[in-house]
Amino acid sequence: MHSTCILLWTFWSYCRAMMGRFCLLKNRCLLRQVLPGLPTFMHRQFSLDVSSPLFRTQGYVNGQWINVASTFPVLDPATGEEIAKVADCGPTEAKLAVDAAYKAFYSWKQYTAKERSVLLRKWYDLLTLNKEDLAKLITFECGKPMKESLGEIAYAASFLEWFSEEARRVYGDVVPSATKDRKILLMKQPVGVASIITPWNFPSAMITRKVGAALAAGCTVVVKPAEDTPLSALALAELAGQAGIPAGVFNVVPCSREKTPSVGTILCTDPLVRKVSFTGSTSTGKILLKQAADTVKRVSMELGGHAPFIVFDSADLDKAVAGAMNSKFRNSGQTCVCSNRFLVQSGIHDRFVEKLGKAMDTELRLGHGADPNTTQGPLINVRAAEKVEHQVQDAVSQGAKVLRGGKRLDGSFHQPTLLTDVTTHMLCTKEETFGPLLPVIRFNTEEEALAIANASDVGLAGYFFSQDVSQIWRVTENLEVGMVGVNEGLLSTPEASFGGVKQSGIGREGSKYGVDEYLDVKYMCFGGLTL
């Protein structure tokens, strides 16, 4: 940590001891901070003011809030200040949650599809009603600007709405038989207990996208949220209880980074768990796949991305620039479908880069997510900012030019950065950045662009801009990704399937296919008939 940061921490330790700036009141939780010495955009006070029922810090098992012996801190990534201490659940609590989910499964699966649909709809209504408080939690534990946090809550709620409807559309099949004395029926039944392991970058939506489908199918769940963002998951648990979701159907076991391996082992190896759904890095996904293999569990894996963003000469330049801004800088570049490699055809390259630089100057404002003027919050932690800094330094050392930004700031902040003269030998084109770095590679032909775009072990999303209809079909069919945005930089929606190919994962979330991930197909042969 920089010497200035060390001085700040010393100053703040003294302030906390002398002034007690962090306090929990009866009905509200309030965090205030004053940050002299940080960049000018951080000289304000910011308050986390959330209604008491939604500010939960205990584990949630079998419909009860549980205390454990130890806690871990949740920090505001913009300031490094502690927001709360949360129950540090371990293997014991994880096992209790699995047992509770297993017991609840046998009653929950007997609920009719309509009954499950009604409860999911009530949960959706409560998310919508409490969107402001839920968004504040996201902003303070994840760092997103409030506008984006409100957008995430709407997105999270949309999955509960969608799957409340899909619950009543889980159809089987009656298959024509080759003989007259039997009928063939294919029935769909819930797989059982599902372990849900979610990331920090969408701390509400990644839960509802998985849990909405699981509950609609008749499964019960144990959620392990990311250690950086447990408050959103616990608030969802509170609202699930208010909606009438029965005890044991939805359980949350928050834990620290240190306890994550042992908790994860329980969730992936316990024989009572029949399904594991994970969103996170490819390296962690491979570990969980190996653990789940011993008991042959069903798995869904939404893993790393390295999305190409291709701009062809025929593209509408203004739309391409707008798409690039949306695709790269949402959540400060910390989404799994963020564009990571920008390929721009020679004939339009210089004009695209010029317009993009001006858009960055006009639209991007660094700051705390609670500031209404902020469009770019912090990265999730110092390690994330260091990774971006390292990729910029590597690219510059190999000849890349910095046209905008390029500097690491204090704490978890990094300037939005535009690089040109980038080559495929640079680190930023070989690994996912997860930060506000936009490297531009010049190309000449469609074949060259596709070769660069597909030269990756992962294939989650890809984007391209073109007005050539034949080219649109060719490129869409040849991009080795699970999702393609054509003349569009934002593609996520509950109605469409979400997932990748190659090492970007297994299975699909959202859409009508999302429920299938939590269903077994049972074949019934009804014989001995006289027809």
**Do 334 and 471 belong together in one domain?**
yes
Q: For 301-340, how does the pLDDT look when each residue is reduced to its tens digit (9 = 90+)?
A: 999 999 999 999 999 999 999 999 999 999 999 999 999 9
Catalytic residue among 89, 336, 338, 428: 336
Under DSSP, the state recorded for 469 is H
Q: For 116-146, how does the pLDDT look when each residue is reduced to its tens digit (9 = 90+)?
A: 999 999 999 999 999 999 999 999 999 999 9
> What pLDDT, on the 0 to 100 scale, is given for residue 44?
63
* Measured distance CA(330)–CA(342) in Å, rounded: 16
Query: At 155, which amino acid appears?
Result: Y
**Do 378 and 251 belong together in one domain?**
no
For residue 236, being part of any structural domain is answered with yes
**Do 358 and 233 belong together in one domain?**
no
Could you give the 3-state DSSP secondary structure of residue 82?
A: strand
> What pLDDT, on the 0 to 100 scale, is given for residue 52?
85
- Checking if the pLDDT of 25 tops 50, the result is no
For residue 430, being part of any structural domain is answered with yes
Supply the mean pLDDT for the chain.
92
> What pLDDT, on the 0 to 100 scale, is given for residue 267?
98
**Do 275 and 331 belong together in one domain?**
no
Element holding 6 (H helix, E strand): helix 3-19
**Do 419 and 405 belong together in one domain?**
yes
* Measured distance CA(415)–CA(421) in Å, rounded: 19
Strand partners, 279: 302
Domain count of the fold of the chain: 2
The residues, ordered by sequence, that sit 6+ positions from 324 with a Cβ below 8 Å of its Cβ are: 309, 311, 339, 342, 356, 438, 489
Starting from the edge strand earliest in sequence, which strands make up the sheet with 183-190, in order?
173-175, 183-190, 519-526
The separation between CA 283 and the C-alpha centre of its own chain, rounded to angstroms, equals 16
* Measured distance CA(349)–CA(327) in Å, rounded: 18
- Checking if the pLDDT of 159 tops 60, the result is yes
- Checking if the pLDDT of 13 tops 70, the result is no
For residue 127, being part of any structural domain is answered with yes
Q: For 178-212, how does the pLDDT look when each residue is reduced to its tens digit (9 = 90+)?
A: 999 999 999 999 999 999 999 999 999 999 999 99
**Do 247 and 318 belong together in one domain?**
no
The residues, ordered by sequence, that sit 6+ positions from 508 with a Cβ below 8 Å of its Cβ are: 300, 482, 497, 498, 499, 514, 516, 517
> What pLDDT, on the 0 to 100 scale, is given for residue 42?
53
Average of per-residue pLDDT across 236-249: 98
For residue 102, being part of any structural domain is answered with yes
For residue 47, being part of any structural domain is answered with no
- Of the candidates 531, 487, 524, 494, the residue with the CA atom closest to the CA atom of residue 512: 494
Element holding 329 (H helix, E strand): helix 317-329
Q: For 225-242, how does the pLDDT look when each residue is reduced to its tens digit (9 = 90+)?
A: 999 999 999 999 999 999
Return phi, psi of residue 494, to 5°. -65, -25
For residue 255, being part of any structural domain is answered with yes
For residue 481, being part of any structural domain is answered with yes
- Checking if the pLDDT of 265 tops 60, the result is yes
For residue 478, being part of any structural domain is answered with yes
* Measured distance CA(414)–CA(462) in Å, rounded: 25
Average of per-residue pLDDT across 94-103: 98
**Do 162 and 268 belong together in one domain?**
yes
Q: Which domain holds residue 352?
A: 308-493
* Measured distance CA(170)–CA(113) in Å, rounded: 8
**Do 259 and 142 belong together in one domain?**
yes
* Measured distance CA(210)–CA(208) in Å, rounded: 5
Helix axes 113-129, 205-217, angle to 10 degrees: 160
Task: Report the percentage of the chain scoring pLDDT > 90.
Answer: 90
The residues, ordered by sequence, that sit 6+ positions from 75 with a Cβ below 8 Å of its Cβ are: 81, 82, 83, 141, 228, 381
Torsion sign (Cα): 382, 383, 386, 388? negative
Query: At 25, which amino acid appears?
Result: L
Structure tokens at 236: 């969802």
- CB 506, CB 177: distance < 8 Å: no
Query: Which CATH number is 431's domain given?
Result: 3.40.309.10
Query: Which CATH number is 259's domain given?
Result: 3.40.605.10
> What pLDDT, on the 0 to 100 scale, is given for residue 444?
98
**Do 189 and 299 belong together in one domain?**
yes
- Checking if the pLDDT of 518 tops 50, the result is yes
Q: For 482-498, how does the pLDDT look when each residue is reduced to its tens digit (9 = 90+)?
A: 999 999 999 999 999 99
Average of per-residue pLDDT across 271-291: 97
- Checking if the pLDDT of 348 tops 90, the result is yes
**Do 104 and 180 belong together in one domain?**
yes
Catalytic residue among 161, 238, 302, 446: 302
- Of the candidates 264, 268, 241, the residue with the CA atom closest to the CA atom of residue 254: 264
* Measured distance CA(420)–CA(442) in Å, rounded: 8
Structure tokens at 508: 């699909």
- CB 171, CB 516: distance < 8 Å: no
- Of the candidates 263, 334, 260, the residue with the CA atom closest to the CA atom of residue 304: 334
Catalytic residue check, 302: yes
> What is the rounded end-to-end Cα distance, in angstroms, of the chain?
80
**Do 153 and 279 belong together in one domain?**
yes
Task: Report the percentage of the chain scoring pLDDT > 70.
Answer: 92
Burial class (CB in 10 A: 0-12, 13-18, 19+), 502: middle
> What pLDDT, on the 0 to 100 scale, is given for residue 369?
96
> What pLDDT, on the 0 to 100 scale, is given for residue 298?
97
Burial class (CB in 10 A: 0-12, 13-18, 19+), 271: exposed
The separation between CA 396 and the C-alpha centre of its own chain, rounded to angstroms, equals 30
Q: For 406-461, how does the pLDDT look when each residue is reduced to its tens digit (9 = 90+)?
A: 999 999 999 999 999 999 999 999 999 999 999 999 999 999 999 999 999 999 99
Q: For 497-511, how does the pLDDT look when each residue is reduced to its tens digit (9 = 90+)?
A: 999 999 999 999 999
**Do 271 and 376 belong together in one domain?**
no
